[in-house]
Each structure stands twice: as structure tokens, then as C-alpha cells.
Structure 1
Amino acid sequence: MFQFISTAGFVFLFITCLAFILLTALPIFGQLVFIDDVNLRIWDFVLFGLPYLVTALAVFVCGLQRQYMLTYRLERVPRGSIVLQTDDAPRDVVDLVRTEYLRCSAIAYEALPTTGSQPGWGRPGTIYDGMNFKRAFLDAVEKIDATAREILPSLPRMPYPFQLCVHLRPLLGILPEAEKEAKEIDKFVRLVVYSENGQDEVVGERLRYSEAKSATEMTEEEYERAMVAVNGLQAILGKEKQYLESDYSSVSDQLSESRSMSHRRRSSVYGSERQRRMDFRYEVQEPYDDRLDSGFRFGRL
């Protein structure tokens, strides 16, 4: 259906353009016919009629050449192999593909907007050209989550939707300087993820009093402010990660080491207490009672 509509539209435009060309050419040819002087008639034909003939001939030749390239040359591409290099196909086929690719690239480049911008996207000609602020901000937050889980492997993966202060609470206890940056990021998380009124004066006021869909999109100013907080938090976590890699293997190694030390300490206390009770029995020359030892072992004594 779409192909039929596009073909019908092209035919309609072609016929319309041809009709306008003929309408502009008819008065000129009429003037040429009604002139009595033969020399002036020939000169008018060369001056007015020849450009139309040359243009029509050029259009016909270009169309015929293009049809020839699309039908004959493309049929020469081998069907049983995949073209990987320029030597895998005839030279004229390679030139045709290269020419068509360059032509399509030029059309796509010229079709790009040079002025104006869409809400939530970077302006053309700036460092944010072609960047979606929401997607870039969420990608940066995901990098923070990856760094945090490298510091604390027991930290679960960040859920969605999320609150960064809640997710990083185990780390904020030992890194209090990161709490300010995390709270600043959460202001923009409410805009990007929840799309509700936040505490930030710019974000909150715009969302509260605007009904447009673009009100929930990040602006360039908000993205820059959010990235300042993201980079600050990433720098703090990066320093902590570097410190842990230089002094300890990981936080889990520290926890396992502390657990093993506490286990050995409890075992030594248990062994010394049992030995002391055994020595006391031998001193008072009491018979050894297995029930006493079993009661001590299971915490009854």
C-alpha cells in the first residue's frame, strides 16, 4: 500500500511539472511561429526552444542510464557468494554501490536540521549535538552503580525505578562526603524516572505549572548540573576503589577475614574453658561425666 501511494505521488508530481513546463513553453513557441522574419524565427528557436530540448534529452539520458545501472549491473553480482572486498564483484558494480552510498549519505546530511532543537535533545552545532539528555544521564548513573558494586560486591544491582540515596545507603555510611552528591542526583532522578514534582526549584516549578509533554524533558542546563553531581560522586567512589585496590583485595576479603578471626577467637575461648573445667575435675578427683560435657557443648551449662 505504501509503495503504491509513493509511486502514485511521484507520477502525479511528474505529470504536474511536465504540464507547467509545457504551459510556459507554449507562448514562446507561439511567438516563434507567428514571426514573419525567418532569421528572427531561427534565432528565437535557438534561444528559447533549444534549452527545452537539451533539458528533455538530458533527463531522458540520465533516466535511461540509471535504469541500466540498476537492472543490468546489479544482476552481475554473484548470487552464490558474499561481497567482502572490491575484488569480489565487478568494478562497475563496486563503483555503482559506492556512488549510491555517497549520494544517500549526502542527502541524509543535507536533511539534518541546522537550526533549532527538540526538547530533551542537544542543540545542533554544540558538544551535545545528537545527544538525548535523559539517556546520557541514566547511562552515567549506571556507571556509578557499577563502581559501587565493585567497591561492595554484596551490594545488589540498582532497581528501576530507583533512588540513589536509598540504593547507596551501605556506602554512604562510610563515605559521608558522597551523600551530598547523591541527594543532588536524586533531584534529577525524580525528573527523569518519576516525572513528578521535585525539590529542585527549576525542575519542580516547571513540572508543577506546565502541562506540555516537553516539561518532563531535561534541559541542557539541568543536564550540566546533573553531570556535575554525577562526576563528583564518581570521583569519590573512584578514589575509594583505588584505595581498596592498593591496600586490600576487596571488602569481601576484609569481611571474611574478620569472620574467620572471630570464629578462631570463639573456638579458643571454648577450648580454654573446656580445658579449665577438665583440670578442675582432675584436681577434685571427680569422675568424668559425659553428660556434663554434652550439656556444656549445647549451651545448657
Structure 2
Amino acid sequence: MALIYHVSFFLFVVLTGIAVVGSAAGLIAQAWLSGGQRRWDVVIVVGSYIALAVMSTLIIINRLWSIRVALSQIPKAYIPVKEEDAPKDVYKLVEAEYTRASLIAYIARPRNKVAPGWGTPGGDLENIFLPRALLDTLSTVDAAVRNLLPSLLPIRPQVTVTQHLAPLTEILHGEKFHEQIRLYDALVQRARYGYVNEDLLLTELEYMEGVRLSAELAKVFNALSVLRQPHPNVNARDFASPSPVLDLLSQTSLSDPLGSGLSS
């Protein structure tokens, strides 16, 4: 149908052009060959056809402008293209690309509003990358530990928290306390290397647990560093033994911030 429409339209345009040119040539030839006053008819005929050409041009321009305005008002989000509106190969290409774009848009739709490793949008942890935020707590714990033991080197990325705190094992006793350190160490390792597997990235609950553990560890180490200063009830030589330290922690209500974690 589209082919018949375009061919017929082109044919009628050509026939109309031939008819106009033929009629103009006939009238001009007749006026010129008649001679005398009839030759002025040539001017009239030529002027008439010039006026016709100008009017036709104006009509065409107006029509093209109207079509452009109408097309600009069509919503760009969806313009239906029928098979007869374009060549077969073009239509198939448009159809294939539209299908591909639709599949990409569908696959890209979020299935869960929570991205792995990130805080929930609209929550307290929005726009926070949980592994990076938990690793930032290492500096607080490390500073508290080195206040207690200045000779300790700063923590390095390839060293675990348990290895870093190994020099304090002679001071800090209690299985539950060491269990808290191991839990914090496990969360830190997840934060460091969890990116290799999406399932290993920290959740919000794990991140909050890690922050709690880091705060409590820093609190204990800071308390011990304060108690290491000269005290009327503790001699400097007694610091190697945990008993006086634990007694003083009991007096300052900091003996067990981790829940019986400093019991001897």
C-alpha cells in the first residue's frame, strides 16, 4: 500500500508538471506566432505562470512548516512504526533495537532497594559504603591500643586485628574478651575482602555490630592506658599482671564493657 501511494503521488506530480509546462509553452508559442499586438499576450502568460509558481512555492513552504510543527508535537517517548511505514530491513532493524532496549531497561530495573554493601536509602546509613566505614574504625582502635602500648607499630592492611593485638595477650585475659576481638577481626576481614563476592559484603546489622565492638574495644584500651599512669593502688611493676588492673577497672565501672570480657 505504501509503495502504491508513493508511486502514484510521484506519477501525478510528474504529469501535473508536464501539463503546466506544456500549456505554458503552447500559449506562449501561439501568442508569439500571432504577431502584432498578440505578442503582449506573451508577457501576460509569462507573468501568470510566474505568479502561479510563486503561489505554489508559498503553499509548499506552508505545508512543510505545518507538517514539521505537527511532528514536533508528537510525544517522543513512543512513536509507533508500522511495517508499511519503512522499508522491510529498516523496520526489522528498528524492531530488533527496540526489543533490545526494552530488555536492557527491564534487566536494569532494581529488584531490591538495598544495594549490597550500602546503607538503605532513606535510612540512617544512606549513602554510606559499609565496608569502607567499618575500616575507618580501625584507626580509633589502633590509636587506643598504641596509647596503651606505644612501642606497637601502626596496624598494616595485611595484618589482621588479632595479629595486631597479639602483644597484649599477656595483659588482657578472658576468653569472652578475646572472642569479641575475633568477632571484630572477622568483620574487618569481610570489609577488606568481601568485594570479591557480593554475598560477603557487610549488611547493616553486621556493620553496626562492628562499630559497637570497635567502640567498646577502644573504651577498654583507653581505660587501661589511663590506669597505667601512676596510681596509689597500683605499682608500675604490677602492670604485667592483670589482677590489679582488673580490680581498678571494677572500681571504675569499666571492668566488663563487653559482658564479663575482662574476667580473669
**TM-score, scaled to structure 1:** 0.38
TM-score by length of 2: 0.43
* Structure with greater proportional helix content: 1
Q: Highest CA radius of gyration, 1 or 2?
A: 2
Higher relative contact order (CA 8 A, sep 6+): 2
